[in-house]
């Protein structure tokens, strides 16, 4: 089932599990680089950006091209931070296979669920690499058992560890029963079969075959007749079932010491599905006309915009027009190093230079004159926001330009101009995510922006009706102004909005001035007596007076404002706070803590149940004030090993009284005063 076309694997898994180190080992083992860098020294291929170096963590996915035993591969090293998971999702869209890199820790298996779910959602088959076995303290079979439980997918060890004290020094291949000893930085050496492990190995081997028999009748028959299946047959069957996504083989090693790294490369070579499979899943024909899909956009300081794309069909040439846009340059990438090429073929991952109108997700084909983004999933919705302002007012245009580019690079980072609060709000997946964005604004786009907690869009309404007279009269030289109205102001049910009516009979307010009265009321309502927009009230114009010379639209608009300014405070105004319907997902062992968190944050629990398809997770629903959501994600993550998450939608407005309300009104008054004085 091997393919001679270029293949693509994504390295995924939690932060610090060793993905970037594994990539470095892959590249060194295959000769793509001739000096091994390290994450610690900031010399790895994976973390080459300034933001990544500054934090010693991957902040963006890194593509790296390599050739192993004649197969061309692009490995996509994905950042592990939960806040940067959009990068992983983008990479998985185009990968043939993924390697889930984890630490040998049973208690941390729980943190893998989000990425395992992402693999499942994208339909990408995967293998597991348990890393850091050079400092192992936990049992590998125990880790596999916990992982199987969390993933809800059959898994089995493909090799069995040979330990020396706390560390693993070699392995026995469970299909061939051959034993190997690790050699630092080199290929493992075959050694004599460790007879002392014979029983354990027999059991592990049976466990492996038991997983396979569920999917393969031929192996089942052999097992029933107590025949031992040939190693070749086991390899082949295991690969096929794995490619269908039904089972997950588990390997282990040490990325740092290059232990088990070539073993992992071989597993990829033999077991990963050929690129034709992913292409077909997405509806592409390898030998059709040229088509590529962009899955990542970079704005590099020197080379300009680069769209990272996988060739899903045909052959692509430099200078060719795809989807109506000309390719400005074509390159293969090893981290930040690019090699110009003139042609790319099906399966290749290439950087396309200067395709200015092209976006992440676009499919560009030779036969179409525009891009198509229809098979690209929606980006993640935001869980954290900050109101931002440029330090220099004159930088506003630069700021929005930078934000636009950041959003192109990372669709899970968005921004909006809040119409209620007039703030520019940066939205994303957490504080680190937004801080990285602010760093990039400063270093790449030369704008320093300050950030604050975003204001909550409070509203206000009234609880009592009132009849109010309002007159505007001005007598200056020539023309004067005269408007006079009587209005009934009354509360309306929550959510029903504003209503204006007139009951003028006999022309006490001439027809042509009535719309001006309504305008005056609406203008007033943008900021009521408590300082917030007024909602859910009715005003009926019942009477008035006019002057045949001095009355005009402006006079009536102002008369209406006078009536509202005087009348509204008598209507028992009350603050309204936005309440969201929130769904919180956490591993069930944290459900009780989340219950407490919701109560502390003035929330009301509506219910909770096991989260469908997520083994060991709960989903809680609650009503919570929007003002309590700002840093909810931070607290949620800190109580749940970093994996808890939530989704919130505005639900309704709720009356808020007492001290909390008074403080909000007072703060608003002070802010308004400052604004006026500025
Ligand atoms: N002991 C040991 N440490 C490792 C190994 N692989 C990576 N590390 C260390 O783990 C840390 C995180 O590695 P990194 O590759 O950046 O992880 P990533 O966040 O998954 O990309 C670094 O300090 C590495 O040096 C390994 O096999 N053994
Ligand atoms: Mg990394």
Residue 268 near residue 242 (C-beta atoms within 8 A): no
CB under 8 Å to 435, separation ≥6 — which residues? none
What is the pLDDT confidence band of residue 4, given thresholds at 50, 70 and 90?
confident
Q: Is the pLDDT of residue 44 over 60?
A: yes
Work out the average pLDDT over 12-25.
95
**Per-residue pLDDT reduced to its tens digit, 218-243:** 888 888 888 888 888 888 888 999 99
**Per-residue pLDDT reduced to its tens digit, 510-526:** 999 999 999 999 999 99
Q: For helices 198-213 and 217-224, what crossing angle results, to 10°?
A: 130
pLDDT at 3: 57
Residue 60 near residue 79 (C-beta atoms within 8 A): yes
Classify domain 7-279 at the CATH superfamily level.
P-loop containing nucleotide triphosphate hydrolases (3.40.50.300)
Residue 487 near residue 541 (C-beta atoms within 8 A): yes
Q: Is the pLDDT of residue 204 over 70?
A: yes
pLDDT at 225: 85
Q: Do domains 384-452 and 577-660 have the same CATH topology?
A: yes
Residues having CB closer than 6 A to ligand 1 are 15-21, 39-40, 57-58, 80, 101, 131-132, 134-135, 254-256
The CATH class of 384-452 is alpha beta
What is the pLDDT confidence band of residue 303, given thresholds at 50, 70 and 90?
confident
Q: Is the pLDDT of residue 503 over 70?
A: yes
Which residues on neighbouring strands pair with residue 511, listed in sequence order? none
Best residue among 43, 256, 432 to mutate for probing ligand 1, ranked by most atoms within 8 Å of CB: 256
pLDDT at 144: 95
**Per-residue pLDDT reduced to its tens digit, 309-345:** 999 999 999 999 999 999 999 999 998 888 999 999 9
The CATH class of 283-365 is mainly beta
Tell the residue number behind the tokens 């008074």, with chain if given.
662
pLDDT at 42: 83
Q: Residue 181 is encoded by which pair of tokens?
A: 């000893």
Looking at all shown ligands, the one closest to residue 39's CA atom is 1
pTM of the full structure: 0.91
What would the CATH number be for the domain defined by 460-571?
A: 3.30.230.10
Of all protein residues, whose CA lies closest to atom 7 belonging to ligand 1?
Answer: 18
Side-chain half-sphere of 355: how many Cα atoms within 13 Å? Answer: 34
Show me where the domains of the chain are located: 7-279, 283-365, 384-452, 460-571, 577-660
**Per-residue pLDDT reduced to its tens digit, 108-167:** 898 899 999 999 999 999 999 999 999 877 899 999 999 999 998 999 999 999 999 888
Work out the average pLDDT over 594-609.
96
Ligand 1 atom closest to 46 (CA)? 21
Q: For helices 113-122 and 140-151, what crossing angle results, to 10°?
A: 60
**Per-residue pLDDT reduced to its tens digit, 532-541:** 999 999 999 9
Which residues on neighbouring strands pair with residue 65, listed in sequence order? 74
Of all protein residues, whose CA lies closest to atom 28 belonging to ligand 1?
Answer: 132
Mean predicted lDDT score pLDDT of the chain? 93
Tell the residue number behind the tokens 């610090």, with chain if given.
16
Q: Is the pLDDT of residue 2 over 60?
A: no
Looking at all shown ligands, the one closest to residue 103's CA atom is 1
What's the 186 CA to ligand 2 centre distance in angstroms? Answer: 22
CB under 8 Å to 463, separation ≥6 — which residues? 491, 571, 572, 573, 574
| Cα three-residue angle 413-618-385, rounded to 5 degrees | 20
Which parts of 363-419 are beta strand (E)? Answer: 363-365, 384-390, 414-417
- CA 294 – CA 363 distance, rounded (Å): 7
- CA 611 – CA 423 distance, rounded (Å): 35
Q: Residue 221 is encoded by which pair of tokens?
A: 């028959």
pLDDT at 1: 41
- Give how far the C-alpha of residue 133 lies from the chain's centroid of Cα atoms, to the nearest Å: 31
CB under 8 Å to 450, separation ≥6 — which residues? 388, 389, 391
Between strands 304-313 and 291-300, the pairing is: antiparallel
- CA 412 – CA 85 distance, rounded (Å): 9
Work out the average pLDDT over 81-87.
93
Best residue among 39, 161, 259 to mutate for probing ligand 1, ranked by most atoms within 8 Å of CB: 39
- CA 509 – CA 515 distance, rounded (Å): 11
**Per-residue pLDDT reduced to its tens digit, 91-122:** 999 999 999 999 999 998 988 999 999 999 99
Q: Residue 460 is encoded by which pair of tokens?
A: 């206000």
User: 207: helix, coil or strand?
Assistant: helix
pLDDT at 282: 94
**Check whether domain 577-660 has CATH 3.30.70.240, yes or no:** yes
Q: Is the pLDDT of residue 76 over 80?
A: yes
């Amino acid at each position: 089932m091997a393919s001679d076309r270029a293949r693509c694997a994504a390295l995924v898994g939690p932060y610090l599990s060793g993905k970037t180190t594994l990539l470095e080992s892959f590249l060194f083992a295959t000769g793509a680089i001739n000096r091994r860098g390290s994450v610690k020294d900031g010399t790895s291929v994976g973390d080459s950006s300034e933001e990544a170096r500054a934090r010693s963590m991957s902040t963006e996915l890194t593509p790296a091209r390599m050739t192993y035993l004649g197969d061309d591969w692009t490995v996509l090293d994905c950042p592990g931070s939960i806040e940067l998971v959009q990068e992983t999702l983008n990479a998985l869209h185009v990968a043939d296979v993924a390697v889930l890199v984890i630490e040998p820790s049973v208690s941390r298996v729980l943190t893998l669920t989000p990425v395992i779910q992402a693999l499942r959602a994208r339909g990408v088959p995967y293998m597991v690499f348990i890393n850091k076995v050079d400092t192992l303290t936990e049992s590998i079979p125990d880790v596999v058992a916990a992982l199987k439980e969390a993933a809800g997918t059959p898994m089995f060890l493909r090799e069995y560890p040979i330990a020396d004290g706390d560390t693993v020094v070699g392995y026995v291949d469970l299909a061939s029963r051959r034993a190997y000893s690790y050699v630092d930085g080199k290929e493992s050496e075959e050694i004599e079969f460790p007879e002392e492990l014979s029983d354990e190995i027999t059991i592990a081997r049976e466990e492996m075959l038991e997983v396979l028999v569920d999917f393969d009748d031929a192996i089942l028959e052999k097992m029933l007749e107590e025949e031992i299946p040939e190693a070749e047959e086991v390899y082949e069957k295991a690969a096929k079932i794995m490619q269908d996504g039904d089972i997950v083989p588990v390997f282990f090693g040490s990325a740092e010491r290059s232990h088990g790294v070539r073993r992992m490369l071989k597993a990829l070579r033999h077991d990963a599905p050929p690129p034709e499979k992913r292409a077909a899943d997405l509806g592409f024909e390898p030998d059709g006309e040229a088509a590529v899909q962009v899955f990542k956009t970079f704005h590099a300081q020197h080379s300009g915009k680069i769209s990272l794309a996988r060739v899903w069909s045909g052959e692509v040439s430099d200078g060719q027009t795809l989807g109506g846009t000309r390719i400005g340059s074509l390159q293969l990438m090893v981290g930040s190093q690019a090699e110009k090429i003139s042609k790319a073929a099906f399966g290749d991952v290439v950087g396309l230079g200067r395709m200015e109108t092209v976006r992440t997700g676009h499919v560009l084909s030779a036969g179409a004159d525009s891009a198509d983004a229809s098979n690209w999933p929606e980006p993640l919705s935001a869980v954290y926001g900050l109101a931002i302002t440029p330090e220099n007012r004159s930088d506003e245009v630069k700021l929005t330009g930078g934000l636009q580019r950041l959003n192109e690079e990372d669709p899970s980072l968005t921004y909006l101009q809040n119409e209620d609060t007039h703030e520019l709000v940066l939205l994303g997946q957490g504080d680190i995510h937004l801080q990285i964005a602010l760093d990039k604004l400063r270093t790449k786009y030369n704008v320093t922006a300050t950030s604050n907690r975003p204001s909550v869009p409070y509203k206000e309404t009234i609880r009592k009706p009132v009849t109010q007279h309002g007159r505007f009269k001005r007598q200056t030289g020539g023309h004067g102004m005269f408007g006079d109205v009587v209005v009934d102001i009354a509360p309306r049910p929550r959510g029903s909005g504003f209503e204006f009516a007139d009951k003028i009979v006999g022309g006490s307010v001439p027809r042509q001035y009535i719309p001006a009265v309504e305008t005056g009321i609406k203008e007033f309502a943008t900021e009521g007596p408590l300082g917030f927009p007024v909602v859910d009230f009715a005003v009926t114009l019942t009477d008035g007076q006019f002057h045949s010379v001095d009355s005009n639209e402006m006079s009536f608009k102002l008369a209406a404002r006078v009536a509202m300014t005087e009348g509204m405070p008598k209507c028992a105004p009350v603050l309204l706070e936005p309440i969201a319907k929130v769904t919180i997902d956490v591993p069930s062992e944290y459900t009780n803590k989340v219950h407490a968190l919701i109560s502390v944050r003035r929330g009301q629990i509506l219910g909770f149940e096991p989260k469908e398809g997520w083994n060991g997770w709960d989903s809680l629903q609650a009503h919570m004030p929007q003002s309590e959501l700002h840093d909810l994600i931070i607290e949620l993550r800190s109580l749940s090993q970093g994996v808890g998450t939530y989704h919130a939608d505005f639900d309704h407005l709720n009356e808020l009284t007492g001290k909390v309300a008074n403080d909000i009104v007072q703060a608003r008054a002070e802010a308004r005063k400052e604004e006026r004085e500025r």
